């Protein structure tokens, strides 16, 4: 099971322990060694894991409890009892290890705990024929993970590999809903909680309509079970139950002051928007929170926007000045946030309606192109794609790239960038001079994108899907491009000055 | 007699005569004979031949003709008489033409003396030659006969006047002359006369001969002189042209040769020697051409297409063309022709499509990028080849010499190494060459010298006998052998030239410690020595150069050894020598070696610029770079493909390093390569394999990095300056650079939390703000406007740095501003800057800087105020006109359809029509002949009938007379 035998010494102990009951003191020794170690528990953990999985598989921990019968005092039974004590002790030690030591050993501790939980689930301590899930163990693990002091994001991220199991998901949500109730938790606790919940929901819980479809397809075979074995009854996975528990979990979280700390706020919003929205029974209850968040500005409002969009699209919520808020989000600061792609994507969806007033869309086009002037090439390409889509969807905007009437020379741009109301920014009278300027960008991809925006689509071409170009892709792509000839300067430089136009030496006194 | 003769020799003379006569006799038209053909349709410009005719005349003519031909033939029909040739001697083969003539002439003479002609005295025969009378023939056009005419116009047999007067008219009573002279006998007189005339004749003859001689002499002299006169220009031709003309002579074609044999050669035409002006002009034209190409590349693909489409002529379009842009492949086939070197004379693009067997492989990096370097190396561009050619020409002589010297070297080496000094004089020569070429003085840096021995001891290169090295290196090396006696070993060990060691040496090689020890004083020395440019080739260098690529690996180290511890000028000359000694024209492998050298030089520059701690280091590094940069250009020119590959690899590596720590600005060992790239490659291209990625790299640096200390800000400014330089020609819009300047202004502006101003990432609101803000009054400070090398090593931001940052960024800002004068978006780009500048307290800055900044601000404000906005319009699409076709106008309208046909077709067409016409004519003639024959026959018939009737009548008459007589007799009876 444990492929890596960390230490020959431990290997010996393991084999001895497993072979001979007489040398069982080894186990005790190992458990004691937890005390001695401070940093790296990995070998110990692996040893314990191997020993106990083997023992569980052999059923040496199995205790046949016969009702109305006095406890057996035979050495066998005593040994068993002792082993179980050891098992419990080992469990506590392992859980402690999650909190201590170096990161790798912490992660290993979590994995070991889960592995033992799996082993126990497969070979329960009490003999049972049905499906058995050691929820207590899971609860213990969760209790550790929801530490109020230490951020557990790394172990929780590691825990993700177990939440993919359906039984873990269901029981996990159940367990989490039982332990969640807590008043005024610390922000770290909240973060841990939200992260854990996020991870538990990483596997999509199907809604009713989906279930029906799925049942017919008979896709349930694919479901992964952590503690499932062939000879036992199958695990009764119930999405409805899962959703209920998830709702309950979120219900607890809602009572906390989530919006105090910006990190917690962001996390909560991310969880809500990404995972929970489709699961919630009454999603409109989240409206207040989302609206407040939308006003917060910055990345938080960007996240909230997605939730609001969901509400508007699916739940008939009417939100005032929706587009003005979206409009206000397009500020140069957005490039620094990591949600800029999401924002662009959302804006594309928002503006995909063909029933929007032209002046509004024009204002957006103008603002986006204005932003593209200061954006990095990658962002600028995205923005230009967005603008191109706007122009495609709203043929009336064509006048911004090709003015049909006799062009009158204006003394200034009619568009008012500072105007907060998109519709009154008079963008329709303006032209996309910014895009025109971007045709002279040094990055060929961007220049080409700008040129395509200005190229009037003769027929209604399909709007482009917003691609997410990698930052490094541009550079690599340019390097990989093949050229027929390699052009060189035709004037031999005499020293460091470029013959075509030296500027470095003009502004730098480098050689004195 | 005369008649007979005329008949026989009816020749030219008579014909001419007759013609004249006929012209005189040309009859006037009888108006009654003229028949006018009425024209039904009048066609302009048509010449009608048949508007009038003479039917009677022509009919008569035709009948006459028939009478002469057909009629005679008919007469002779069924006749068995034969024509007998009675000419004398015509049939006998023995007689020659001459004899025949003589015999005939004799017969004529005999005839003349027969009875009839005895009394015909006056009728003298007229002598003819070939039918022409001798009178007509004789022209007397001997050119010399002109001279014979007597100038004096003397009469009376050319006797003198005096003599005539005396001799002919003299005597008598009145003349006293006789008395004076005494009596002269008549005999004396006659004798005198004869003598005199003889003398005169002799004189005349002599004179004539003399003139003749002189004329002939002059003629011959002129002939001799002719070629000289015409060749005079040719003597000034250059050697190359002579070679060329020789080559041309070789493949002279038959015609030319024939003509040359036929006509006398009158000197050959030649191209004038190109004057300096002309050369300069050509050079200018070449540069202009290259510049034009560059500008074309500067435009994007779309624009290029647009330009092209404008340029391309409208091809032929068929009437059935549906305007669907379906293209027919009806391009004209090209004629495949070869120039004298055997290269096909076809456009490049055609060459690509058709694989011409003899064609050189076309340089196509897209394909050959992955293939060997050697292949690619061959196909480099033309200028390089030219270079090579010229170089090879220069080296021809030296090669010959080197062969000899090499031989001698081998001998001396093998026999006795101490004797090597024999060749030392040669060595002197070569070293002199070096010095003169480098234009160096005789100064050697002492430190450099001191460091040498250490390096030398490390170096264990063995000079090697390499077949293709120029003489000078060889000889110098041999001298080295005498000096470094111990080092020279057997040459065999290092024979193999392995190319395997191409991998770049490791990045993290430490700079030698020496550099750091150089203090500022030395630095000044360095700079001074720059001016003097003092380098004498050091012997150790020579050795190193000679054996540079001999040993398997470690060229990078060797290069470092060669270059470290020297003044930049020395480094440059060492490098120059190195490159020169491995010139590609000297050996095939040298190209590879130089390619490798390029990589090592890149490595050297990288090492040079890494870990710069002191200002002096920075300056030194830049000084060296300044000197070495041209050689980078030279090396990359020798092998464009591989040098591009090296630089691309380098960029990739640097980019990878940068990606690991995105927030940190890369150090100078990265940034310097951007400068190098701008030196080597055109930065204005729309797309370029090197400059585009490096520009993307730079913009990324400016967008992602954090600028919050002197280190990052100075480097950021450097990158911005580089970007300015990159875009100087193309005027591209680099938002990151403009935004960086905005950031710098933001950092130097006086911003408060209460009064925020919009910033664009990577600069952040309220973070690091005011780090460049000048807080003290520095208006008295004397600060030069330029950034300096010391800024790269600055750790603390001081006032000086702040001021210079501002002034530099303002300068750059203005230049960027000027890029976009024609673009409306200028306002959006630069308005934030103006706002920020408004927050900078310029009073605190030195007056000079403040003034300059104010000027720039004023300039920019003014520029933005007069900005006008024209709405974007598309080029007005012209309404699609109905398709009209060009009228098919022929340059020469002949009216005949055959004009369009090809030559052969036209010819056959002509022949056909002619045949038809002739056929028609012949048929008509036959018809007429027939009718003529018919008419003749009927006439004969009538004639014969008449005769018969006459005869019958006669018979009847006779019979009746007979009857009457009989009756008479009867009655009488």
- Is residue A72 domain-shared with residue A192, that is, in the same domain? no
| Residue A196 maps to a domain | yes
Determine, yes or no, domain membership for A123: yes
B820–chain A Cβ distance below 8 A for any pair: yes
Closest chain B residue to A490, measured at CA: B290
Chain position carrying tokens 């019958």: B952
Rounded to whole angstroms, how far apart are CA atoms B655 and B696?
Answer: 10
Reported as a pLDDT band with limits 50, 70 and 90, residue A218 is: very low
Nearest CA to B541 among B514, B555, B562?
B562
A258 domain-assigned: yes
- The domain in which residue A58 lies consists of 1-127
pLDDT on residue B215: 92
pLDDT at B808 over 80: yes
Chain segment B901-939, per-residue pLDDT in tens = 778 888 898 899 999 999 999 999 999 999 999 999 999
Would an 8 Å CB–CB cutoff place B815 in contact with chain A?
Answer: yes
Q: Which residues of A touch B868 (CB under 8 A)?
A: 409-411
pLDDT, chain B, mean: 70
Is A146 in the same domain as A79? no
Torsion of CA B94, B97, B101, B104, to 10 degrees: 40
Cβ neighbours, 10 Å, residue B102 = 14
- Whether B679 and chain A come into contact, CB under 8 Å, resolves to yes
Cα distance between residue A290 and residue A277, in whole Å: 12
Distance (Å, rounded) from C-alpha B475 to C-alpha B468? 13
Q: Which of B300, B683, B761 sits opposite A451 (nearest CB)?
A: B300
Do both A117 and A140 map to the same domain? no
Highest mean pLDDT among A492-506, B59-73, B753-767, B768-782 belongs to B59-73
- Do A11 and A142 fall into the same domain? no
Per-residue pLDDT at B678 exceeds 90: no
A475 shares contact with chain B (CB less than 8 Å): yes
Nearest to A495 among B630, B683, B718 (CB): B630
- Which pLDDT band, with edges at 50, 70 and 90, does B752 fall under? confident
Q: Is A318 helix (H, G, I), strand (E, B) or coil?
A: coil
Q: Which residue of B has its CA nearest to A378?
A: B700
Q: Which residues contact B213 (CB under 8 A, 6 or more apart)?
A: none
Phi, psi of A503 (to 5 degrees): -120, -30
Mean pLDDT, residues B963-973: 88
**Which residue of B286, B654, B679 is the best one to mutate when testing the A interface, meaning the one whose CB has the most A CBs within 10 A?**
B679
Share of chain B above pLDDT 70, in %: 59
Q: List chain B residues with CB under 8 Å of A498.
A: 678-679, 725
pLDDT band of residue B178 (cuts 50, 70, 90) is very low
More confident site: B240 or B422: B240
Q: Which ipTM was obtained for this model? A: 0.75
Q: Residues B491-518: what's their mean pLDDT?
A: 38
Q: Are strands B52-53 and B35-36 parallel, antiparallel or unpaired?
A: antiparallel
Residue A451 at interface with chain B, using a CB cutoff of 8 Å = yes
Give the C-alpha separation, A444 to A381, whole Å: 11
Q: What tens digit of pLDDT does each residue of B843-863 get?
A: 888 888 888 888 888 998 888
* pLDDT at residue B115 is higher than 90: no
Contact A502 B815 (CB under 8 A): no
Q: What does the alpha-carbon distance between residue B665 and residue B759 come to, in Å, rounded to a whole number? A: 20
According to the 3-state scheme, what is the secondary structure of B725-787?
HHCCCCCCCCHHHHHHHHHHHHHHCCCCCCCCCCCCCCCCCCCCCCCCCCCCCCCCCCCCCCE
Number of domains in chain A: 2
- The distance from CA A59 to its chain's CA centroid, rounded to whole angstroms, is 40
Name, of A332-346, B415-429, B513-527, B718-732, the range with top average pLDDT: B718-732
More confident residue, B772 or B173: B772
Please tell me whether residues A273 and A228 are part of one structural domain.
Answer: yes
Q: Which of A333, A496, A508 sits opposite B721 (nearest CB)?
A: A508
**pLDDT value, residue A67:** 59
Which residue, A281, A298, A315, sits at the end of a domain? A281
**Greater model confidence, B334 or B507:** B334
Query: By the CB < 8 Å criterion, does B636 face chain A?
Result: yes
- The answer to whether position A369 is within a domain reads no
- Looking at A127, A156, A184, which one is the last position of a domain? A127
User: So what's the pLDDT on residue B931?
Assistant: 92
- Cα gap B53→B445, rounded to integer Å: 113
Per residue in A429-481, pLDDT (tens digit) is 888 888 888 888 888 888 888 888 887 655 556 666 666 555 556 777 777 77
> What 8-state DSSP symbol labels residue A234?
P
Q: Tokens standing for B424? A: 């030392």
Cα separation of A498 and B673, whole Å?
13
Q: In this structure, are A54 and A112 located in the same domain?
A: yes
Give A155-204 pLDDT, tens digit per residue: 777 777 777 777 777 777 777 777 766 666 777 777 777 777 777 777 76
Q: Do B679 and A370 touch (CB under 8 A)?
A: no
> What count of other Cβ atoms lies within 10 Å of the Cβ of residue B441?
13
**Confidence band (pLDDT; 50, 70, 90) for A16?**
low
B871 with A403: Cβ contact below 8 A = yes
> Which of A399, A436, A476 is closest, CB to CB, to B825?
A436
| Residue B729 CA: distances (Å) to CA of A500, A508, B292, B810 | 8, 20, 12, 20
In whole angstroms, how far apart are CA A437 and each of A135, B112, B566, B825?
A: 63, 118, 49, 6
Q: Nearest C-alpha of chain B: how many angstroms from A376?
A: 6
Using 50, 70 and 90 to split pLDDT, how confident is the model at B210? very high
Maximum Cα–Cα distance across chain B: 195
- Is any Cβ of chain A less than 8 angstroms from the Cβ of B379? no
* Number of Cβ atoms within 10 Å of the Cβ of B518: 18
Residue of chain B nearest A512, judged by CA positions: B619
Task: Report the distance separating Cα B46 and Cα B94, nearest Å.
Answer: 63
pLDDT at B366: 38
Question: 3-state SS of B625-662?
Answer: HHHHHHHHHHHHHHCHHHHHHHHHHHHHHHHHHHHHCC
Closest CA to B814 of A147, A64, A506, A175: A506
pLDDT over 90 at B952, yes or no? yes
* DSSP-assigned beta bridge partners for residue B338: B344
- C-beta of residue A195 within 8 angstroms of C-beta of residue A147: no
Q: Does A482 touch chain B (CB under 8 A)?
A: yes
Q: Tell me, yes or no, whether A91 and A101 share the same domain.
A: yes
Q: Which of A127, A153, A172 is the last residue of a domain?
A: A127
Asked if B863 is an interface residue toward chain A (Cβ–Cβ < 8 A), one would say no
* A195, A84: one domain: no
Task: Mark yes or no for CB contact A493/B728 under 8 Å.
Answer: no
pLDDT of B533 over the 60 cut: no
Q: What 8-state DSSP symbol labels residue B251?
A: T
With CB atoms and an 8 Å threshold, state whether A442 touches B734.
Answer: yes
Record: contact A375-B735, CB cut-off 8 A: yes
Give the tens place of pLDDT for each residue, A374-432: 888 888 888 888 888 888 888 888 888 877 776 677 777 788 888 888 888 888 888 88
pLDDT, one tens digit per residue, over A306-345 is 888 878 877 777 777 788 888 888 888 778 777 888 888 8
At A381 the pLDDT is 84
- The tokens for B44 are 């302009």
* pLDDT at position B232: 55
Predicted confidence (pLDDT) at residue B526 exceeds the cutoff of 70: no
d(CA B695, CA B674): 8
**At B416, is the secondary structure helix, strand, or coil?**
coil
* A418 reaches B (C-beta below 8 A): no
Distance from CA of B655 to the nearest CA of A (A): 9
CA-to-CA dists, residue A471 to B434, B655, B701, angstroms:
52, 12, 12
Instruction: Give the whole-number percent of chain A exceeding pLDDT 70.
Output: 77
Three-state DSSP state, A440: coil
Residue in chain A closest to B678 (alpha carbons) equals A498
CA angle B725, B727, B731 (to 5 degrees): 135
- Mean pLDDT (whole number) for B735-745: 87
pLDDT bin (cut points 50, 70, 90) of residue B363 is very low
H-run or E-run covering B129: strand B128-129
Average pLDDT over residues A206-233: 55
**Contact across the interface for A376 and B703, Cβ inside 8 Å:** yes
| pLDDT(B523) > 60 | no
Within a domain: residue A407? no
A109 in the same domain as A141: no
Q: How far is C-alpha A374 from the geometric centre of its chain's CA atoms?
A: 29
């Amino acid at each position: 099971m444990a492929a890596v035998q960390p230490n020959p010494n431990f290997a010996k102990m393991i084999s001895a322990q497993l072979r001979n009951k007489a040398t069982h003191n080894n186990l005790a020794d190992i458990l004691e060694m937890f005390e001695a170690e401070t940093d790296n528990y990995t070998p110990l953990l692996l040893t314990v894991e191997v020993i106990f999985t083997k023992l569980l598989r052999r059923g040496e921990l199995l205790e046949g409890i016969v009702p109305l019968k006095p406890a057996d005092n035979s050495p066998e039974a005593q040994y068993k009892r002792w082993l179980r004590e050891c098992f419990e002790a080992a469990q506590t030690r392992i859980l402690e290890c999650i909190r201590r030591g170096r990161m790798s050993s912490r992660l290993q501790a979590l994995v070991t705990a889960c592995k033992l939980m799996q082993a126990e689930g497969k070979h329960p301590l009490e003999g049972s024929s049905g499906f058995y899930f050691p929820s207590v163990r899971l609860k213990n693990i969760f209790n550790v993970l929801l530490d109020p002091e230490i951020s557990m994001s790394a172990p929780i991220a590691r825990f993700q590999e177990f939440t993919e199991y359906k039984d873990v998901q269901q029981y996990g949500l159940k367990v989490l809903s039982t332990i969640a109730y807590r008043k005024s938790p610390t922000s770290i606790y909240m973060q841990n909680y939200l992260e854990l919940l996020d991870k538990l929901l990483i596997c999509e819980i199907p809604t009713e309509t989906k279930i029906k479809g799925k049942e017919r397809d008979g896709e349930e075979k694919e479901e992964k079970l952590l503690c499932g074995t062939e000879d036992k009854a199958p695990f009764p996975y119930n999405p409805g139950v899962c959703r209920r528990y998830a709702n309950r979990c979120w219900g607890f979280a809602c009572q906390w002051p989530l919006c105090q700390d910006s990190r917690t706020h962001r996390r909560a919003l991310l969880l809500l928007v990404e995972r929970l929205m489709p699961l919630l029974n009454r999603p409109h209850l989240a409206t207040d929170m989302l609206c407040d968040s939308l006003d917060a500005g910055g990345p938080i409002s960007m996240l909230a926007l997605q939730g609001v969009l969901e509400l508007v699209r699916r739940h008939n919520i009417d939100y005032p000045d929706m587009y003005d808020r979206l409009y206000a989000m397009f500020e140069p600061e957005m490039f620094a946030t990591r949600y800029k792609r999401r924002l662009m994507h959302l804006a594309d969806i928002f503006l995909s309606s063909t029933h929007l007033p032209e002046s509004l869309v024009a204002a957006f086009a103008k603002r986006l192109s204005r932003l593209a002037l200061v954006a990095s090439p990658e962002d600028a390409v995205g923005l230009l794609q967005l603008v191109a889509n706007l122009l495609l969807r709203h043929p009336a905007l064509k006048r911004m790239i090709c003015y049909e009437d006799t062009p009158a020379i204006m003394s200034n741009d009619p568009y008012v960038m500072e105007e907060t109301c998109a519709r009154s920014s008079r963008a329709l009278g303006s032209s996309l001079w910014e895009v025109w300027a971007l045709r002279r960008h040094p990055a060929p991809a961007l220049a080409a994108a700008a040129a395509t925006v200005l190229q009037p689509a003769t027929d209604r071409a399909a709007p482009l899907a917003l691609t997410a170009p990698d930052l490094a892709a541009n550079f690599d792509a340019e390097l990989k491009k093949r050229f027929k000839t390699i052009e060189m300067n035709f004037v031999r430089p005499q020293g460091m000055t470029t013959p075509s136009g030296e500027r470095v030496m003009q502004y730098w006194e480098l050689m004195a | 007699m005369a008649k007979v003769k005329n008949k026989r020799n009816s020749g030219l003379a008579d014909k001419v005569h007759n013609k004249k006569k006929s012209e005189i006799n040309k009859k006037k038209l009888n108006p009654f004979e003229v028949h006018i053909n009425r024209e039904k349709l009048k066609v302009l410009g048509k010449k009608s031949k048949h508007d009038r005719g003479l039917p009677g005349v022509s009919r008569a003519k035709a009948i006459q003709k028939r009478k002469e031909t057909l009629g005679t033939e008919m007469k002779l029909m069924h006749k068995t008489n034969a024509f007998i040739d009675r000419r004398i001697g015509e049939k006998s083969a023995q007689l020659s033409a001459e004899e025949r003539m003589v015999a005939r002439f004799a017969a004529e003479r005999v005839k003349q003396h027969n009875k009839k002609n005895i009394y015909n005295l006056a009728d003298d025969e007229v002598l003819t030659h070939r039918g022409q009378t001798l009178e007509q023939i004789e022209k007397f056009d001997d050119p010399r006969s002109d001279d014979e005419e007597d100038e004096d116009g003397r009469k009376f047999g050319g006797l003198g006047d005096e003599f005539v007067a005396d001799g002919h008219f003299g005597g008598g009573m009145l003349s006293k002359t006789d008395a004076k002279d005494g009596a002269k006998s008549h005999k004396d007189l006659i004798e005198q006369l004869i003598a005199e005339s003889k003398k005169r004749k002799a004189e005349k003859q002599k004179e004539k001969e003399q003139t003749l001689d002189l004329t002939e002499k002059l003629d011959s002299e002129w002939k001799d002189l002719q070629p000289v006169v015409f060749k005079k220009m040719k003597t000034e031709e250059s050697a190359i042209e002579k070679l060329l003309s020789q080559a041309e002579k070789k493949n002279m074609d038959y015609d030319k040769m024939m003509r040359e044999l036929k006509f006398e050669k009158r000197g050959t035409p030649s191209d004038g020697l190109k004057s300096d002006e002309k050369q300069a002009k050509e050079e200018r034209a070449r540069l202009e051409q290259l510049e034009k190409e560059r500008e074309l590349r500067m435009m994007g693909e779309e624009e290029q297409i647009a330009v092209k489409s404008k340029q391309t002529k409208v091809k032929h379009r068929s009437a059935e063309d549906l305007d669907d842009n379906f293209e027919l492949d009806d391009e004209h086939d090209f004629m495949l022709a070869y120039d004298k070197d055997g290269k096909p004379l076809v456009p490049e693009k055609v060459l690509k499509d058709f694989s011409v067997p003899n064609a050189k492989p076309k340089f196509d990096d897209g394909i050959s990028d992955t293939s060997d370097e050697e292949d690619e190396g061959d196909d480099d561009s033309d200028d390089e080849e030219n270079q090579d050619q010229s170089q090879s020409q220069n080296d021809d002589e030296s090669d010959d010499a080197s062969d000899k010297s090499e031989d001698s070297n081998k001998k001396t080496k093998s026999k006795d190494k101490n004797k090597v000094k024999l060749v030392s004089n040669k060595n002197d020569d070569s070293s002199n060459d070096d010095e003169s070429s480098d234009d160096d003085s005789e100064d050697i840096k002492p430190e450099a010298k001191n460091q040498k021995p250490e390096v030398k001891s490390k170096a264990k290169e063995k000079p090697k006998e390499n077949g293709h090295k120029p003489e000078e290196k060889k000889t110098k090396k041999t001298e080295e052998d005498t000096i470094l006696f111990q080092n020279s070993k057997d040459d065999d060990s290092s024979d193999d030239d392995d190319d395997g060691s191409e991998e770049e040496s490791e990045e993290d090689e430490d700079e030698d410690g020496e550099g750091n020890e150089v203090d500022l004083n030395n630095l000044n020395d360095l700079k001074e020595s720059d001016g003097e440019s003092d380098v004498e080739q050091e012997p150790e260098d020579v050795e190193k150069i000679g054996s540079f690529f001999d040993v398997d690996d470690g060229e990078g180290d060797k290069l470092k050894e060669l270059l470290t511890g020297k003044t930049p000028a020395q480094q440059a000359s060492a490098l120059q020598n190195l490159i020169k000694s491995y010139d590609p024209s000297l050996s095939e492998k040298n190209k590879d070696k130089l390619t490798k050298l390029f990589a090592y030089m890149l490595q050297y520059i990288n090492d040079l610029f890494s870990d710069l701690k002191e200002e002096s280091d920075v300056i030194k590094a830049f000084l060296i770079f300044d000197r070495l940069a041209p050689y980078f250009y030279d090396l990359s020119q020798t092998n464009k493909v591989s040098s591009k590959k090296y630089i691309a690899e380098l960029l990739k590596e640097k980019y990878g390093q940068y990606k690991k720590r995105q927030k940190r600005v890369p150090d100078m060992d990265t940034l310097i390569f951007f400068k190098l790239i701008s030196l080597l490659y055109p930065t204005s291209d729309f797309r370029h394999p090197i400059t585009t990625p490096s520009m993307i790299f730079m913009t990324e640096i400016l967008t992602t990095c954090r600028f919050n200390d002197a280190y990052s800000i100075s480097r950021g400014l450097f990158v911005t300056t580089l970007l300015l330089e990159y875009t100087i020609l193309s005027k591209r819009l680099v938002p990151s650079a403009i935004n960086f300047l905005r950031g710098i202004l933001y950092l130097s502006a006086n911003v408060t939390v209460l009064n925020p101003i919009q910033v664009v990432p990577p600069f952040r609101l309220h973070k690091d703000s005011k780090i460049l803000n000048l807080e003290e009054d520095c208006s008295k400070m004397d600060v030069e406007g330029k950034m300096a090398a010391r800024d790269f090593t600055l750790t603390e931001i001081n006032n000086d740095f702040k001021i210079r940052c501002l002034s530099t960024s303002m300068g750059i800002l203005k230049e960027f501003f000027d890029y976009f004068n024609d673009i409306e978006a200028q306002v959006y780009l630069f308005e934030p800057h103006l706002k920020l500048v408004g927050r900078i307290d310029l009073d605190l800055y030195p007056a000079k800087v403040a003034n300059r900044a104010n000027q720039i601000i004023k300039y920019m404000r003014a520029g933005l105020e007069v900005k006008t906005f024209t709405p974007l319009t598309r080029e007005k699409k012209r309404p699609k006109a109905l398709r009209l076709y060009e009228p098919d106008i022929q340059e020469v309208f002949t009216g005949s359809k055959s004009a369009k046909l090809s030559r052969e077709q036209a010819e056959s067409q002509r022949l056909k029509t002619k045949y038809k016409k002739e056929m028609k004519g012949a048929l008509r003639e036959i018809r007429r002949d027939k009718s003529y024959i018919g008419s003749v026959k009927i006439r004969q018939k009538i004639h014969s009938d008449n005769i018969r009737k006459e005869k019958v009548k006669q018979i009847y008459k006779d019979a009746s007379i007979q009857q009457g007589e009989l009756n008479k007799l009867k009655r009488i009876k």
